[in-house]
Amino acid sequence: MKSRHEPVLILHHAIPAPGSCHNAESDAGVMDEVKIVSETFQMLKIPCRVAAVESLTRLPEILRSAPERLILNLVENFPDRPADAMQVPTVCEAFGRECTGNESSNQTLALDKWRTKAVLQAAGLPVPGGVVIPCGANTGSASLALQKEGSVLSRLPAGPWIVKPLYADASEGIHPTSVAHDGKALNAAIRRIHRDFKHPALVEAFFGTRELNVALFQRGDRIEILPVAEIEFRGFGEDRPRIIDYAAKWHTDSFEYKNTVRVVPAKLDRPLAARIRAAALAAWQTLGCRDYARVDFRLDEAGNFVILEVNPNPDISPDSGFEAALKAAKIPYSDFVEAIYTNAASRLALKKEVPPTRATSPARTRKQEEGQTLIRLTESADRDGILEFMRETGFFHDSEIEVAREVLDEAITKGPSGHYQSFTLLDEGEPAGWICYGPTPCTTGTFDVYWIGVSSSCQGLGYGRALLAHVENLIRQQEGRQVIIETSGRALYEATRGFYLKTGYHEAARVSEFYAPGDDRVIYSKRIRK
């Protein structure tokens, strides 16, 4: 009998040969996740199969031949290009698939610990003070740099400090020598990260003595905040830092692994536990998480805490903290898997059709079926509809609409050979979204997004993200390196600015009162190619 459930493709990254990279243990751990998820789907009578992908460039080949429309995404890393793993949801979406777990924009943001700290701090959440030391930076003697006014390290709070690779997870790069108590040890820790990871080094104040985390997952519109977990450091002497380093997570024969003991729920008084769980939910909301995530904390003896990081798509293997938190909450693992499956299936059902990743010809448009959503080059017939919904959004003055009209007319008249490249998103055959971009004059590989808008009646459907993803793909094909978007600093544009942050952009500059008194010009940037 045919299953009534949508089949699932369990997608994971290919496991490198033992010893071929410095994080082989954490890479191999994904197979424990694959096993338990496969067994759970079988128990739920949901058809599933497993596929491994070696690189982002190989993913389209897998998707073209895969009949499944739902992807359970367990891709965590690609050798030499770990950040590419964050783009798996976007590529799947471009092929009409829906992934479980967090979106590319959310994962990309969370991978960058510095940007994550900035976003959390802007939301009023506590984070440890820190600085980033780029590769190649000459810190000289860290002891002197700490004292020299104006140096990067002089902006650090008082030590001790902990040094981490800026773009890594699973405790990769964390070692007892990552904690530094003086300038000499700090310099050595920074150099180790630069040498071993080729990453900038994040230097943070080493806060507190206790390590906590909170797992969260989504059931429809409800977010389940699981009990606070603590990792107890048992038998750690004064000379051993109380941290979850790489050995504590992955080296099963090590002292650190054997003496870091998970306790769920943590031994905290109820008001403190409630504050930590509330902060975890706020971090989830600030980063725009969905389906499941984990928030890591440090706690001091006075009951103060900071957020270390947010982990989208954390480890969900049988021995993981996530599974332990589910058990503490008396939630069967199968309920969790079924919830994230149902979330993804619901998102898939809401999509009429994912817009294609390349410009579509007018001939394809004329063949468009009722109810289909499509992105294609703007045509003259779109002009009035675009101007009408841009005006109705209430974001633009008449003078701005007139500029939009001029840009549209030039883009339509000159077409692909012109400076302005204009694309329309059609919903049921009518213009519902518009984006216009072009190369930035006097630059190499920099592009501006001049206009982006979605009809008020279609906002919240992901059309803005689809338009941005479409244009970013086209810019990559043109060897573009980065994208620049400008917007207003007025309160009216707060949601717009949040949208850019959630789609992987960061505030690169702000010109005070550029547009008018009290109206700043806010410039956002996103690197899309190294």
How many Å apart are CA 432 and CA 424, to the nearest integer? 7
| CATH fold for the domain made of 362-480 | Aminopeptidase (3.40.630)
With contact defined as beta carbons under 8 Å apart, do 369 and 353 qualify? no
Between the alpha carbon of residue 323 and those of residues 37, 94, 217, 234, 281, the distances in Å are 12, 31, 11, 22, 18
Q: Helix or strand or coil: residue 184?
A: helix
Place 366 in a pLDDT band, splitting at 50, 70 and 90.
Answer: very low
Place 19 in a pLDDT band, splitting at 50, 70 and 90.
Answer: low
- Domain extents for the chain? 8-110, 129-205, 212-240+252-350, 362-480
- Tell which CATH architecture fits domain 212-240+252-350: 2-Layer Sandwich (3.30)
Query: Exposure string (b/e) for 153-175, b if CB count within 10 Å is 16 or more?
Result: beebeebebbbbbbbbbbbbbbb
Q: What pLDDT, on a 0 to 100 scale, did the predictor assign at position 364?
A: 34
Taking all residues of the chain, what is their mean pLDDT, rounded to a whole number?
Answer: 86
How many Å apart are CA 215 and CA 313, to the nearest integer? 10
pLDDT tens digits along 113-154: 989 999 999 999 999 998 898 887 766 555 545 555 555 666
pTM summary value: 0.64
pLDDT tens digits along 69-96: 999 999 988 877 878 999 999 999 999 9
* Lowest-confidence pick of 153-162, 202-211, 301-310, 410-419: 153-162
CATH entry 3.30.450 includes domain 129-205: no
CB 176: neighbour CB atoms within 10 A?
Answer: 12
Cis peptide before 355 (omega within 30 of 0): no
How many Å apart are CA 89 and CA 66, to the nearest integer? 15
Q: What pLDDT, on a 0 to 100 scale, did the predictor assign at position 153?
A: 67
Instruction: Give the pLDDT mean for 347-364.
Output: 51
How many Å apart are CA 463 and CA 232, to the nearest integer? 45
Q: What pLDDT, on a 0 to 100 scale, did the predictor assign at position 18?
A: 60
CATH number of 8-110: 3.40.50
Q: What pLDDT, on a 0 to 100 scale, did the predictor assign at position 291?
A: 97
